[in-house]
Amino acid sequence: LNEAKASGDEQRIAALEAQMKAARTKQDNLRIEFFDRVEPILNPQQQSGLEQLRSQFKGEPRGAARLEGMIESLPEELQLTPQQRQKYDELVATWRAARDQNREQRRALTRELTEAQKAGNEQLREELRQKLQEVRANRPSDAFYAGLEKILTGEQSEKLSEIRAAVSGGRERQQGLRVRSVVRAAGRLDLTKEQREAIREMTRQAMRQTREAKPEEHAQTEAQIAERLKKDITALLTPEQVTQFEQALKERGRGGPRRPLPQTQPAPQGDQSQPKQP
């Protein structure tokens, strides 16, 4: 992959990244299946230890662990109003109930799957495996974030995206372009009010489309959505802003503090660059 990147072979880069993603997905599924099979035979204390182990890996339990760690700090970081805080607390309560229900569904289905396997009932085993996959794909944290987005202002929504990206760590560097990367890059520009409003609406649509993507196609779909978002944002920018935007995108995922971008004059109010022709 490094050789392909060094040579600028985009087609080979895409093929290798797809292969790596497929391998990671297979490994993640095998790990989750192992955890689900082991969990029913453990006592409560052992199950608690297993949950901590789960949180180190990819999947809903990891997302749940991350979100649990953010629950207390998010209201302050997002500077929620009292009215927003009330709705936020309701979202948290709903998420925790859905998380616990999802966990119990996984445990019950795993026990049934184990029994079907022991009985040699392949048809029932396949049906249960499919149900278990559907339950795993139903991530309560996605519903929480979707509900939270609805009560936030544009600035708060952008801040939430930055927080989630920071918590996600370095996985983004190993995958394709992400919507949050594009949003953060655009946020570093000196934009006019009209540009900010237009980009904010584009961002909301892109985030919604990303949330609606099928779990098994999420990474590929988000990469496509991010590329469209990048193209749409670029069409709103002046040539100087385009240069800054591209620079910010190149710096995505690098360690250390962000270097400030050179300042340029934003497009005149109400006179943005006309969208580029495809």
Which sequence spans correspond to the domains of the chain?
A: 1-152, 172-278
When comparing pLDDT for 15 and 202, which is higher? Answer: 202
- When pLDDT is averaged across residues 74-86 and rounded to a whole number, the result is 94
pLDDT of 270: 46
**DSSP-derived secondary structure letter, 257:** P
Percent of the chain with pLDDT over 90: 15
Q: Are 163 and 155 in contact (CB under 8 A)?
A: no
Per-chain mean pLDDT for the chain: 76
- Categorize the per-residue pLDDT at 173 as very low, low, confident or very high, splitting at 50, 70 and 90: very low
Give the pLDDT confidence score for residue 275 in this predicted structure. Answer: 44
Per-residue model confidence (pLDDT) at position 170:
44
pLDDT in tens, 46-60: 766 666 666 555 444
> What pTM was computed for the model?
0.48
d(CA 19, CA 13): 10
Structure confidence at residue 172 (pLDDT)? 44
Among 175-179, 215-219, 267-271, name the one with the lowest average pLDDT.
267-271
Q: Is the pLDDT of residue 87 over 90?
A: yes
Rounded Cα distance, 201 and 199, in Å: 5
Least confident of 6-15, 135-144, 228-237, 266-275: 266-275
Rounded distance, CA 60 to CA 143, Å?
12
Give residue 94's pLDDT band: very low, low, confident or very high (50, 70, 90): very high
Judged against a pLDDT cut of 60, whether residue 264 lies above it is answered with: no
Beta strands in the chain (DSSP E): none
Say whether 1 sits in a helix, a strand or coil.
Answer: coil
Give the residue from 241, 236, 234, 231 showing the smallest Cα distance to 194. Answer: 236
pLDDT at 12 over 60: yes
Is the CB of residue 207 less than 8 Å from the CB of residue 229?
no
DSSP state, residue 270: T
In this prediction, residue 93 carries a pLDDT of: 94
Q: How far apart are the first and last CA of the chain?
A: 30
The lowest-confidence range among 2-6, 35-39, 62-66, 177-181 is 62-66
What is the per-residue pLDDT across 23-42, written as a single tens digit (0 to 9) for each? 776 776 677 667 666 766 66
60's enclosing H/E stretch is helix 60-70
pLDDT at residue 215, as a whole number: 58
In this model, does residue 194 exceed pLDDT 60? yes
User: φ, ψ for residue 261 (rounded to 5)?
Assistant: -80, 145
By C-alpha distance, which of 271, 262, 264 is closest to 195?
271
